[in-house]
């Protein structure tokens, strides 16, 4: 139903949020479960959650649901009760955000997808009912001490760039689709190893563990609840975190600090920094690391060309963007090595020279 979507603009939405007198709770959840009619489920959830004032990004598919949302605290219990009342989502576990630095979402978006996590696999390449062993944070800690264990980060390289588990393999992948065969190659000849997988909330590890088991890796385990649940448990117990740095999150917060370690550098001056920003030139919008000094100097842009574009009057910027297709759209959510950035910046220079 085309009318079941949020038509409010970002500026108006943020103004409305700033006037709220209550707090919001940011959570994520997923479940692999057969949904017979994803479109019908999508429409029902949109009506229900829109009425409750829920905001966020949700994917619904035949294979299940994947959601990152924030919920007004006054209606939290009602939200949970209604969600759990659906047999597909009965007692579905929530991962509560580690930090509530600011509003994580400003509108409600629910999309029907072919998969809740795009993996590029065919049905005969994995069996999602045959996944790795779920380990709680304490069990994961103990397993990491095994000399025969290898820890693998199942997130993209721009995520592991600002935070990771100690001594973890961090594949230089742009997407989860790219990462699966990359991990299999990295682990070649190590099928006798104890493979320990982790990701943000656990959803990617479900398929990754099933994929590895299908390819002959017998001892595969995964961190239950991902980094989000791990961080909560570490804070509760007071144990020293084996995850260092920040956890990258896919909402307007961008990241949440687990420890104070800074693992990365500014992409423009190489000073120690882990501040991800999006280029102020809205057609570029490249996600990259920029220190406070460079943000001030470059006006939160990724290049001198984008700095010039961002300084133009808004009407002029809109005119230059008119009809421009995002040929490099994938870069909008991914930081690239500088040699790739230079190629990207050259493309934007050519586009805006017209």
Q: Which residue has the higher pLDDT, 339 or 88?
A: 88
Q: How high is the pLDDT of residue 354? A: 32
Tell me the sheet residues that pair with 149: 194
Q: pLDDT confidence of 128, banded at 50, 70, 90?
A: confident
The 8-class DSSP code of residue 149 comes to E
Q: Which entry of 199, 205, 266, 302 is annotated as an active-site residue? A: 199
- pLDDT of 143 higher than 50: yes
| Contact criterion met (CB below 8 Å) for 258 and 227 | yes
Looking at the predicted structure, is the pLDDT value of residue 223 above 60?
Answer: yes
pLDDT of residue 317: 80
Q: Is 205 a catalytic residue?
A: no
Residues 6 or more apart in contact with residue 236 via CB below 8 angstroms: none
What's residue 351's pLDDT? 37
pLDDT exceeds cutoff 60 at 236: yes
What single DSSP character describes residue 60? E
Q: How far apart are CA 196 and CA 205, in angstroms?
A: 10
Tell me the mean pLDDT in the region 252-273. Answer: 90
Quickly count: other Cβ atoms within 10 Å of residue 22's Cβ.
9
For residues 153 and 323, what is the distance between their CA atoms, to the nearest angstrom?
39
pLDDT at 110 over 80: yes
Task: Quote the CA–CA distance of 70 and 112 in Å, as a whole number.
Answer: 19
Which positions ≥6 away from 234 have C-beta within 8 Å? 137, 240, 241, 243, 258
Residue 74 has pLDDT above 60, yes or no: yes
- Name the pLDDT band for 79 (thresholds 50, 70, 90): very high
Q: Note the pLDDT tens digit of each residue in 307-349.
A: 998 898 888 887 777 766 543 333 333 334 443 444 344 433 3
Q: Which of 96-100, 137-141, 170-174, 188-192 has the lowest mean pLDDT?
A: 96-100
Nearest of 261, 286, 272, 27 to residue 163 by alpha carbon: 261
The pLDDT value recorded for residue 92 is 92
| Contact assessment for residue 60 and residue 42, using Cβ atoms and an 8 Å cutoff | yes
Question: Percentage of residues in the chain with pLDDT exceeding 70?
Answer: 86
pLDDT for 170: 95
Q: Mean pLDDT score of the chain, rounded to an integer?
A: 85
Judge whether residue 189 has pLDDT over 80. Answer: yes
Among 66-75, 144-153, 194-203, 318-327, which stretch is predicted with the lowest mean pLDDT?
318-327
pLDDT band at 100 (very low <50, low <70, confident <90, very high): low
Domains of the chain: 10-112 (3.30.70.100), 123-230 (3.40.250.10), 276-352 (no CATH)
Mean pLDDT, residues 56-84: 94
Q: Provide φ and ψ at 308, rounded to 5°.
A: -65, -40
Please give the pLDDT value at position 283: 80
Query: d(Cα 99, Cα 253) in Å, to the nearest integer?
Result: 9
Q: What is the pLDDT of residues 198-222, one digit of tens each?
A: 999 888 998 899 999 999 999 999 9
């Amino acid at each position: 139903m085309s009318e079941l979507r949020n038509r409010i603009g970002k500026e108006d939405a943020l103004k409305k949020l700033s006037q709220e007198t209550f707090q919001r709770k940011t959570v994520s959840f997923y479940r692999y479960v057969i949904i017979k009619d994803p479109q019908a489920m999508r429409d029902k959830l949109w009506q229900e959650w829109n009425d409750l004032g829920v905001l966020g990004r949700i994917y619904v598919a035949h294979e299940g649901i994947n959601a990152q949302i924030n919920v007004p605290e006054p209606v939290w219990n009602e939200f949970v009760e209604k969600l759990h009342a659906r047999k597909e989502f009965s007692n579905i576990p929530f991962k509560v955000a580690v930090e509530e630095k600011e509003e994580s979402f400003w509108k409600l978006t629910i999309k029907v997808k072919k998969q809740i996590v795009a993996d590029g696999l065919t049905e005969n390449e994995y069996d999602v009912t045959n996944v790795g062993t779920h380990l709680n944070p304490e069990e994961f800690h103990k397993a990491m001490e095994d000399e025969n264990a290898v820890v693998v980060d199942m997130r993209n390289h721009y995520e592991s760039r600002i935070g990771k588990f100690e001594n973890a393999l961090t594949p230089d992948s742009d997407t989860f689709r790219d990462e699966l065969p990359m991990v299999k190659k990295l682990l070649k000849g190590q099928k006798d190893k104890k493979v320990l997988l982790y990701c943000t909330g656990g959803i990617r590890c479900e398929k990754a563990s099933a994929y590895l088991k299908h390819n002959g890796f017998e001892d595969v385990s995964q961190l239950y609840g991902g980094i989000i649940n791990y961080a909560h448990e570490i804070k509760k117990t007071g144990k020293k975190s084996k995850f260092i740095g920040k956890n990258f999150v896919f909402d307007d917060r961008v990241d949440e600090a687990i420890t104070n370690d800074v693992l990365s550098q500014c992409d423009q001056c190489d000073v120690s920094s882990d501040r991800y920003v999006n280029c102020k030139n809205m057609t570029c919008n490249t996600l990259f690391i920029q220190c406070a000094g460079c943000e001030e100097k470059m006006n939160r842009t990724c290049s001198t060309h984008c700095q010039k574009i961002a300084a133009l009057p808004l009407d002029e910027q809109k005119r230059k963007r008119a009809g421009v297709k995002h040929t490099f759209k994938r870069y909008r959510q991914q930081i690239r090595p500088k040699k790739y950035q230079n190629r990207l910046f050259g493309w934007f220079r050519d586009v805006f020279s017209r």
